[in-house]
Structure 1
Amino acid sequence: MIKLLLVRHGETTWNAEHRYIGRTDLPLSGEGRRQARALADRLASEPISAVYTSDLRRALETAAVIASAHGLPVRSDPRLREMDFGLWEGLSAAEVERHYAAELAAWRAGLGPAPPGGETLTAVAARVRAVLDEIAERHRLHTVAIVAHGGTLQMVLFLSLGIPPRGGWVFHMYNASLSEVRLDRDGAALIRLNDTHHLPPPR
């Protein structure tokens, strides 16, 4: 059995403003750094054998705090980046709803069109599946943390649980939340989703 601990990165300024943030490489905010420390404390008792992360700063910074507590290196992989939101990048959710209503509806419906100028869900699924296959091969019977982004981690859940991928936010994962999937030869089980009990109240 492999236990996957799925960690969304801590908060950035754009997260706080409810903006689409894909490839823009923002660091954690002060609140995000507090969240990362609280998350590392929560995971201190877990027998984590490897920490994989997106190579974007917000994920790298979160992963570094977790890995340091376990004396582990951070395994950075660009295939774990957030999807490319194209022309939606930096826009608020309300702005995308207002200016790209038809495109947003099509994106949410399934594996069809990408956000204008962005990445298709099919492409996201292919790169995330490749990482999962490698983790499964390297870390049998281990606990592995994957620190990444809302869209990327949602794709991990789609692929692990055999759910057809779609756009939008089917699985809500807040900043610095913890989700858990267990994989064995009989299939996958979702143990926890979007757990934020470890987070301090926002300042």
Structure 2
Amino acid sequence: MTIVQGSLSSIAKQNQISIAESFINADCICIVDTSGSMEDKDSRGGLSRYEVACQELSQLQKNLPGKIAVISFSSAVQFCPNGVPVFLGATTDLAKALNFVKVADVPEMRFIIISDGQPDSEEESLRVAATFKNRIDVIYVGPEDRPQGREFLQKLAAVTGGKSVTVDRAKELQAGIMGLLHAG
């Protein structure tokens, strides 16, 4: 199993602490869409959106060691302490992912959704998002010619007072996340 430098697992091993203890020091939870559409190979170098998102998240964790918890979601949800979002395929159950991370909705926690939009249920996703105390920022990584995905993510961010960033097919994911983490 690959362990990304700076991931929660890496920090736990380095500091000889549990993953749970390393999670306590995380400032941000990145909720990464790993549904079937993230396999589309329309990103830089002919790579898939998922592959580029993994590359960028790896670099981000290296630059912010121990500060980012990674969650993969599709029709299932999985915590990824090694820093690599597990490609799950299938559909996009964003409401399930939001319910999964809701337990970490504590003061000062940041939430960032990385997705190409179009969840299984927009209504349910917006309902769950509206229950968060902290804002949810979003990064749209889908194609420019599919505005409905981007528009949904903008709506979700607005419900929570979050910000929306459009990244051209994950090309500048790291810069987008860094911008959101350093924004007030």
Same fold by TM (over 0.5)?
Answer: no
TM-score, with length taken from structure 1? 0.34
> Which has the bigger relative contact order, CA under 8 A and spacing at least 6?
1
TM-score, with length taken from structure 2? 0.37
